[in-house]
Structures are given as C-alpha cells and as structure tokens.
Structure 1
Amino acid sequence: MTGLATERWGASGPRVVMVHGSLSSAATAFAEQKVLADRFQIIAPYRRGYSPSPRVERIDPDRDAQEIVELLGDGAHLLGTSMGGVVAMRAAALAPEKILSLTVIEPPAMPNGAGRPAADQLITALRGYFGAADTNDLETFAAGFLGVLGVDLQLPSPLPPALEEAIRNLTTERPWETGAPAEVLARTPFPKLVVTGGGTPGFEDVADALAETLPAKRVLFDGSPHAVQRIGQRFNDELIAHFESAS
C-alpha cells in the first residue's frame, strides 16, 4: 500500500478519494466536505512532499497518480482540486475500472487548453514567471505566482511551516507541462464534472476544453475562490448530485 498519510472521515457508504492541490493539504483543502462523512467514506491523502507524508525533492504528478490508485480500493468517487485535479485525471486514466465518478476543480492542465487565448496567455506567463523568479524567497515567489493567476489572497508572514513546505513544493512544479490524458478519459463510462470559480481566465479555458473532450458536466460558481470546494454547501450539493448520477 501507499506510504501516504491520510485523513479519513466517515465509516459507511461509497468511498470518496479527495486529492489536494499545491498550496494546501488534505485537512485544509477539504474542511467543508467533512460534513459528507455521514454518507460517504472519505479518504483525503497528503500528497508525497506534504507532511506528514514522506518528503520529496520534486513534485511528480505521475508518481502521485500511481499512489492515488492504491487508495481507490474496489472502486471510489475521485475528486481533485488544482494540481490535485491533474493528479486525479492521471489516476483515473491508470485505473478507469476503479472510478465511480471523476470531479476536477480548476486543474492547471494547461496543455489541454492550448490554442485558446486565455490559456495560451497563462501558459506563457507561468513559464516566464517560473523561469525568472527567485525560488529561494518563498514568500515573494508565492505572492507572484498568485498574481499571475489573478488570485487575491494575502499570505501570512512569516509563513507557517506547512505553507512554507507547500510553496517549496510548488517551485518544483511545471504547470505549463502538466497535461491530462483527456482522450483516454473520453473512452471511459463514468460521469465527469469540471468546476471553476471564474477567477482565472486561463483556467476557464482549460476547463472548457476538458469539458468538451472528456466530455464532462461543466459548472461555474462565479466569484468563488480558486479552491471552489471551500464555498461549502452549494458545491457539496452539486457534488452529491454528481455522485448520485453515477448509480
């Protein structure tokens, strides 16, 4: 079995595996989904590189995907937010027979949106920023990264250890290269849901492209943060309806 640490909420019902993104962790990313533990068995792993899971020198979405597959058991609903969405899609392509449904929230699967104006602009901006930024100054790096995305989020200073670790992981990512196997997923039977919050036009382009190719239900919670699941009940209601559509 995988050596990842996990949060586990709920003792009965269908299994749900939730994969966090780059600047978060299992407990913080999915705090608003704990209320679903009366209906589902939720497993939220800490991706490799995020304490208390083992440390790594570089984030590897393919390795992460393989470890997520190990958590699916005999079958599970799979959800991923931000980079966790890319990981979730790669995991679903590795073991489609174990997926009951797939949900992704603003995944930075930038190659999938290539050719669309806002996605192309974001690809260029991300590549340029990661190439020029000082990755040793983590506070400045994170603030600049959020600025590229157009996300208005004030980070605490000094950085808490968990966030410092997350930003250090982020500096090793290459989001302009992290495509998702959409064509493979298009041949799978389980329902798919693509969710965005309207804050980053490049992510909207990527989500539109994914929704067309997968194909997937496309939901926009306009005015929501990048981590749309944190809006709580409105998102949870949509998620439950998506799960129910799988049966």
Structure 2
Amino acid sequence: MTAPAKAHVEEAGSTGPLLLCLHGIGSSSASFAPQLATLAGGFRVAAWDAPGYGRSPDPDGPLDLDGFADAAAEVIRARGGRAHVLGVSWGGVVALRLALRHPELVASLIVADSSPGSGTAPEKAAAMRARVPELERLGPRAFAERRGPRLVSPDAPADLVRRVVDTMADAVRLPGYAYAAESMAGADLRGDLARITAPALVLCGDKDQVTGPEAAQALAGGLHKTAYVIVKDAGHLAHQEQPERFDAWVLAHLHIVTDPDTHPSHLTED
C-alpha cells in the first residue's frame, strides 16, 4: 500500500479538540492566519499546506481526490483521536471526501465557500482543467495576479487583495496544482452527501463570485446534519475577508457539536 503524501502543517493551541484546516486550490496554510490566532484558545488548530503546495514536498506521484483525503487523514492520525475539519473551497471537497473515506476520524465538518466538485457540469470541469496550462504559461505570480482579486468581494480592501495574491503566488506550483485541479474536475459528490454522518456547518460569503450560495445550498441540502450560514460582506474567501464573523460561527458550531446537551439548528443566517 502506498504511503499517504506528506504535508507541512502550521499549528497553534496546545489543548482542546483538534481543528484541521484545509485551504482552497490557490492557497496555503497562510490563509488561515486569523483562525490560527483566534481559535487556538480552546482548540488545537492545524492548517496544512496540501501535498505539492507551499512548504509541503511534491508527492511522489499523481494524487486524486482520495489521495488528498488520505493525506489529510494521516495528519489527523499523527495527532491522535479525531478532528473537526474546516475546508475552504477545494479544501471543502477534500474534507467531504475525507468524511466519506475515514468517518471515524471526522468529529464534524465546517465547509466554507465550497461545492460538490467541478465534475457536476462538463463546462465547470473543463474550466478547472484549463487552469493548469494557464499556470504553466504565466507562472505563479502572474497567475495569482489574474485570479486572486476575484476571490474576495469587490469592496475588499487593497491590503487583503494583496495578501490573497501573495499567498497564491507563494503556494501554487506544478505538479501539485495540476493534481488538485484534476481532483476537483473529476469530483461530483452530490450522490455521496447523504452518506456523511458527521454534523456539518456550511458557510458561504454573500458576495462569493466563484462557487456562490447556490453551490453551498446544494451541500447543505444534501447533508443530513447541517446548519447553513450566509456570511455578509464576504466573497469566496469569507474566512479571510470577514474573519470575526466567520470565526464566531465556527466557534458556535464547535461548541454545539462538542456539547451533548445542545443541538444544531437547520438554517441560520448571518
């Protein structure tokens, strides 16, 4: 059996349940700086650079969605017990697949600005695959300059846009991005959502122009134990653009699922 691909992990907090953070396809652990700072008071927060991203080594061979999910499972196993898993965009798809393949490791899910995958429509899959030659042609910096600004709302401050672009430019490279893009292009988890047993919080920025509320609603509607939240004044990277609102909902979810005397609501709006 092939060993799971290795991943660099940034960590904060020394006590409490484990919260594993999985970044989007054009990002890295750096995008979770607000969560590492805010949530570490009561949780052990771990944010990975996916295999082939940032400070993680390139995998020995191609990774599909199962391969990325297995790598995330190894991060949890290395820290013992189970984890609450926060996945943003592509990271949310990985988190959902992780919950399907390794349900014993996932205490709950927080899926933000995500979707069932790009394999839900041929045009979405083709657009995802087209990013790979674009990255190869432009290089990471120009690729990030082109794609980064649309990940936040039109009213996002310039310093946030710059941080998003810089994070992408530092994180993405081939072949890791190509493996991630293909894993996303081939993913259609709509038929699998009902098999996920972990309680879930689904969040989406109200100004998300990438996946958007419709895709988030498809996730929320397909999962059994779920709450759905719209984060106001946020684009595709709600956890970076509105970290105080985002983290407040994450903390509320974590407190609910770790307290047996409370129960999650089915629909909440920020």
**TM-score, with normalisation over the residues of structure 1?**
0.79
> 2:104 corresponds to which residue?
97
Aligned pairs for 1:61-80 within 5 A: 61-72=65-76, 73-80=80-87
SS of structure 2 residue aligned to 1:179: coil
Q: 1:93 to 1:184 in 2, by over 3 A?
A: same
The answer on 1:29 being equivalent to 2:39 is no
The answer on 1:163 being equivalent to 2:143 is no
Q: Is the 8 A contact 1:126 1:175 kept in 2?
A: no
- RMSD value, Cα: 3.3
Aligned pairs for 1:181-192 within 5 A: 181-192=189-200
Q: Distance in 2 between matches of 1:63 and 1:176?
A: 12
Aligned pairs for 1:1-247 within 5 A: 3-26=6-29, 28-33=30-35, 34-56=37-59, 60-72=64-76, 73-111=80-118, 114=121, 123=124, 126=127, 129-130=130-131, 133=134, 135-138=136-139, 139-145=141-147, 163-166=169-172, 168=174, 169-170=176-177, 173-174=181-182, 177-179=185-187, 181-197=189-205, 198-200=207-209, 202-215=211-224, 216-230=226-240, 231-247=242-258
SS of structure 1 residue aligned to 2:218: helix
Q: 1:86 to 1:64 in 2, by over 3 A?
A: same
SS of structure 2 residue aligned to 1:66: helix
Q: 1:208 to 1:36 in 2, by over 3 A?
A: same
SS of structure 2 residue aligned to 1:186: helix
Percent of residue pairs identical: 27
Q: Distance in 2 between matches of 1:148 and 1:32?
A: 20
Deviates more, 1:1-10 or 1:191-200: 1-10
Q: Distance in 2 between matches of 1:228 and 1:124?
A: 24
**Alignment-mate amino acid for residue 19 of structure 1:** L
Q: Distance in 1 between matches of 2:167 and 2:148?
A: 19
**Alignment-mate amino acid for residue 73 of structure 2:** V
- CA drift of 1:235 comes to 0.9
Q: 1:110 to 1:147 in 2, by over 3 A?
A: farther
Q: Distance in 1 between matches of 2:167 and 2:105?
A: 35
Deviates more, 1:64-73 or 1:141-150: 141-150
Structure 1 regions of 5+ residues with no counterpart?
Answer: 115-119
Q: 1:63 to 1:127 in 2, by over 3 A?
A: closer
Q: 1:127 to 1:235 in 2, by over 3 A?
A: closer
Deviates more, 1:100-109 or 1:143-152: 143-152
- CA drift of 1:126 comes to 2.0
Q: Distance in 2 between matches of 1:182 and 1:238?
A: 25
Q: Is the 8 A contact 2:119 2:125 kept in 1?
A: no
Q: Distance in 1 between matches of 2:99 and 2:109?
A: 8
Q: Is the 8 A contact 2:7 2:51 kept in 1?
A: yes
Residues 17-64 of structure 1: CA deviation (Å, up to 9, x unaligned): 1111122211x2111112211100111121101232112476633211
Structure 2 regions of 5+ residues with no counterpart?
Answer: 259-270
Q: Is the 8 A contact 1:110 1:206 kept in 2?
A: no
